Amino acid sequence: MKIMNQGLEDEMEVWGYRPCLWKRILVGVGSVCSGGLLLLLLYWLPEWGVKGTCTHTSLRDAHTLLLRTTDEFKQWFRARVHVISAPGEKPFDSLDLPSTAQAANGGLCASSEEHHGKSRQPVQINYFSHHSTKYYWNDVMQNFESHKGLEDVKMSCGSIHSDHSPGLPKSLQDYRRLFFGENEIAVRVPSLFTLLMKEVLNPFYIFQLFSVILWSAEDYYYYATAIVFMSVISIATSLYTIKKQYVMLHDMVAAHSVVRVSVCRGSKDIEQALSTDLVPGDVVIIPANGMIMPCDAVLTHGTCIVNESMLTGESVPVTKTSLPASGEEAARSFDMEEHKRHVLFCGTHVIQTRFYAGELVQAVVVRTGFSTEKGQLVRSILHPKPTDFKLYRDAYLFLLCLVGVAGIGFIYTIILSIMNKVPAKTIITESLDIITITVPPALPAAMTAGIVYAQRRLKRVGIFCISPQRINMCGQLNLVCFDKTGTLTEDGLDLWGVQTAESGRFLPPEADPAKESLVDTVFVACMATCHSLTKIEGELSGDPLDLKMFSATGWILEEPTEEETALHNPIMPTVVRPPTHSVPEANQNNMELSELPSCEIGIVRQFPFSSTLQRMSVVVRKLGEKHMKAYLKGAPEVVAHLCKQHTVPQSFTETLETYTRQGFRVIALAHRQLESKLSWHKVQSLGRDLIETNMEFIGLIIMQNKIKEETAGVLLELRQANIRTVMVTGDNMLTAISVARDCGMVRAHEKVIIADAVPPKDFHPASITWHYTENPAQTDKEHRTVEINLEDAVLDKRVTQQEQNYHFAVTGRAFAVLTEHFPQLVQKLVLRATVFARMAPDQKTELVEVLQSIDYTVGMCGDGANDCGALKRAHSGISLSELEASVASPFTSTTSNISCVPNLIREGRAALVTSFCVFKFMALYSIIQYLSVTLLYSILSNLGDFQFLFIDVAIILIIAFTMSLNPAWKELVRQRPPSSLISGRLLCSVLTQIVTCLVFQVLAFLLVRQQSWYETWTPQSDACNVSRSSVSHSQNVTSPRDHKNIKNYENTTLFYVSSFQYLAIAIVFSKGKPFRQPSYKNWPFMLSCMSLYTFVLLIMLYPVPAIDSFLEIVCVPHDWRVTLVIIVIVNAAVSFVLEEANDRWASSFLLWLFCRRNKPPRVSYHQLAIGLKDDADWPPRPATVTYARDLRSHTSAPL
């Protein structure tokens, strides 16, 4: 056994097998003897199929592979090994004529398209395909490996320029295509026959087929036909839905998958080719008017403006710059994630390009096909992980219990039939019939109905779902993570003001940076140039923050045309200048007007914003000046660190805190003059580290990010429902805390403790300093009222006051230190951490995993920009972006605020409770029918074909599908619905109802036999007219008997009683508050129940001969009918009382019965909370430090 993809998400164990003749013969014989059932079993269980027909061998010699995922699902797959013939063993082997270094790697001449004399013999390479990925045999590793692309070679940024700029010769391209295949994300739409076979071979449909054959053998044609009809509709609906999803995905992927591209061949040759021919290492030309990228490629020449909304959900165009070719950055190893600001991803739209005169915008292909970012996204949709939810696991266990009950009935029927000397054929059919009765064929369809209805209701409120099974999971959410910007707060930012700095001190804040006194300052010049804005079709486009900042200056941005670019040897810069028309408004004189043109500034080089570095910078030259300048903007603490300390005002920290505490978003600006010897060309090759150093601090921009009006109300509703809320943002810590307080996530009286962790340095161990933030001095009155109401309404008595009054706040940097150096503290911390600031996208995903590890059911709500990973990893991800990136999230809301979260949880709870109701109802239906049939078997009778038909179609199907229509309850309650079918309360409910139904069926069965008019029924019997009973009795000997013995008094009695039991159970199990609207508001269900009650009551009290004949029921005296009415009324009353008692007292009674009152809770976060309650040192005291070496707190000086 070997491990493939070690440490990755799709890690698998692999075993090798080769065919075994004698095993295959045995399987063939077994399949014939079992009528094909053995083949089906081996199809359903791949590991049995492989082990049953093959013998174990080494991976190298294997013909068939057995794969098993290493995650919690442990899924099995089988794969067939194929062989290709290639001139080399690996895609990046050199194909030059053999030399001492490369002789082993093939002999195909790189300058020719044909093999020449000295070429080596082709190498045979084993490979297999799994989930749209090919794995090739590696002799060195003695294992299979996948080839992702150019990054497999582990080359530096500089070597990509030097080794790959000329492009690939045709022969090398053809050779690499042997390994990478066509550059195509091929979503093959399966034929209807293939889909039909997959659907029909499902164990459920095989069981139905078995049931239909059995019923047909017993002449139950009508019921068999009804089941076949239902199955055909179910299969047709399923095939239509699956086919439609495949076609939609195929159309979405294929829309731009094949395009014509210009490919470099050698240093000068350029040829047109189809994008499907591209392989890693090819050099493509990006046209000036842009294109949809058919692959992942790294930009080596020029600049591109790209719309990456397909991948990130962020509609703002992104500037991509060329990969560094020299300097420190060029020496670094190329990494897709680290250098993504230079990578053009597959499926993204290149809007326009900028380039050097005479030089084309070029990119080296890095990945193709399913290895690309888009390909991996499509793979995750084509091959999703199974949904791990306790309800579904418990459902299978419950079905196994029903199979066990069926087994008891099966044995009982055989013994009873043998004792009564029943013919062998009847014994077989009737004993097998018990199994088909106990496992209800309509169960999966009925279970799905509730989810489908919930999905429709969600669609009506603007929430779209691509993973319907996750709706049930939403019902169990007890923690929701929220992104801040664009989710809790408005997407756009308003400029509140600016505060410039001079000579190491702050000047008073200014509201308008466009005012006369600031126009010619370096501060405004920095605001006007340090951005990534571009003009697309005459409109300024870019990051909303940049747009606000630039528009506040009132300056104008002009970009060069293609003709202008061609006139310059260096890159033609983007130019910004003050508006000439604003001069009169500014009351400037003529002399100042004449000087205005000198304010024109050209942007020579741009270093785009990096979320890792938290800054961006530009190199500019002012018209008429010899020196270039560098402007920098970014997070204040980062910018201050890069500035000369004497230029940073001493009150910097206090001023920053003042603004951030009030919830403002603060951006710092800095500049420096570059050396005069730096030419334009030299600047293009400099690394940003050389530019962004020794800066001079010039001031702060203060942006206001308003909280959305729905935010506070929704968070209050979630808090009242005992659902914890957490903020996960990339913004500043103090701003995040301020927003958390303003929106009610952290209440006015609660402390916030910042865990400031630093990594080990200079022989000092890693440490955490615990800072206690001050509560705001003043709180808005209205907000204070909300807090008081909240306290009164939702204070949980089970949680101590100590737990109620503090929250932790953690930065992304501290989170990384904590996970690496303080793993034992991470779970303690996240238990009460509410604010996570400066979090990188992968850290958001990691946080979701940590929360899941302590048994939280986690929801994630974000705008889709940096949250894709966390949205996918959470139990329930809700994207507020309507863009294609939302395909990564199970749920997408068309409303751009968090009001969708409580709606989703409400519908999830309703769907979950509906699933329980339907499952319990279907289980009781099968048990009630099982009891009826078992009792009738004791007198060698059974239910009639039309009785089965009436019960299964007219009662069960109508009720099962209408009881799922209850809408969600209008408000969230603290109580959560149960998540497990195998819970004491639910089992207690089911068992008490089974016992009730059993008692009343047995009571009716025995009572009818005690009646004075009772006799063995014959066609001449007429119990309705007792005076003729003697005549009937005398004719019993000669009258022909019904060989199935359907018509008899026991059958009629049990049919009436059981029909009412189905309806009573449906009403008892159809729960309303607190998770669903009351059943009386579900008019289709109530109408169905009332109609069926009325119909069964009428045919029982006032028999109609035609209906009696159709349903094969016999006439019984009116007194007995009245007795039956009393029996079913008492039955219904007992069922209702028992269910009410179960809802109120079952949990407490079971805890007392099994002595579990003082047992520790099962979920980890409850155990942690109980442990911390008794910990006198938690939370840590203010201004203390915790060291990694011994985890003891050491008091430090006040901070």
Helices (H) and strands (E) in the chain, counts: 42, 42
Quickly list DSSP for 847-881. Answer: HHHHHHHTT--EEEEE-SSS-HHHHHHSSEEEE--
Phi, psi dihedral angles at 1188 (to 5 degrees): -70, -30
Residue 340's SS3 state is helix
Distance CA 219, CA 729 (A): 67
CA distance 284 to 799: 62
Alpha helix ranges (H) inside 307-372: 309-312, 328-331
- For residue 496, give the 3-state DSSP assignment: strand
Count CA atoms within 13 Å of residue 926 on its CB side: 26
> How many other C-beta atoms lie within 10 A of the C-beta of residue 646?
10
Cis-peptide, bond into residue 1179, ω within 30° of zero: yes
Q: Is-contact 469 451, C-beta < 8 A?
A: yes
State the Cα–Cα distance between residues 96 and 102, nearest whole angstrom: 8
Pairing of strands 891-893, 463-465: antiparallel
Residue 325 · residue 685 · CB < 8 Å: yes
> 345 vs 134, 370, 693, CA distance in Å?
21, 12, 31
**Identity of the residue numbered 9:** E
Q: Which of 862, 886, 860 is nearest to 873 (CA)?
A: 860
To the query of whether residue 483 is one of the catalytic residues in this protein, the response is yes
Can you read off the two tokens belonging to residue 89? 């063993």
User: Tokens standing for 83?
Assistant: 């062989």
3-class DSSP state for residue 616? Answer: strand
Residues 717, 972 contacting (CB under 8 angstroms): yes
CA distance 275 to 254: 12
Nearest Cα to Cα of residue 878 among 478, 490, 471, 460 = 471
Give the residues across from 924 on adjacent strands: none
Q: Within a 10 A sphere around the Cβ of 595, how many other Cβ atoms? A: 11
Burial-class residue 476 by CB neighbours within 10 Å (0-12, 13-18, 19+): buried
Residue 400, burial from CB neighbour count under 10 angstroms (0-12, 13-18, 19+): exposed
Written as six digits, the tokens of 611 are: 């979320």
Q: Which of 394, 433, 483, 952 is catalytic?
A: 483
Q: Are 1136 and 1144 in contact (CB under 8 A)?
A: no
Determine which helix (DSSP H) or strand (DSSP E) holds 607, and give its type and residue range: strand 601-610
Residue 1034: alpha-carbon gap to chain centroid: 74
Cβ pair 614, 838 in contact under 8 A: yes
Encode burial over 133-149: b for 16+ CB neighbours within 10 A, e otherwise: bbbbbeeeeebbebbbb
- Spatial CA neighbour of 428 closest among 218, 225, 208: 218
What is the helix (H) or strand (E) element at residue 418, kind and residue range? helix 390-419
Burial level of 396, CB count in 10 A (0-12/13-18/19+)? exposed
Q: Answer whether 504's CB lies under 8 Å from 650's CB.
A: yes
Instruction: Quote the CA–CA distance of 901 and 939 in Å, as a whole number.
Output: 58
How far apart CA 220 and CA 881 sit, in angstroms, is: 54
Residues 6+ apart with CB under 8 A from 396: none
Catalytic positions, written as ranges: 483
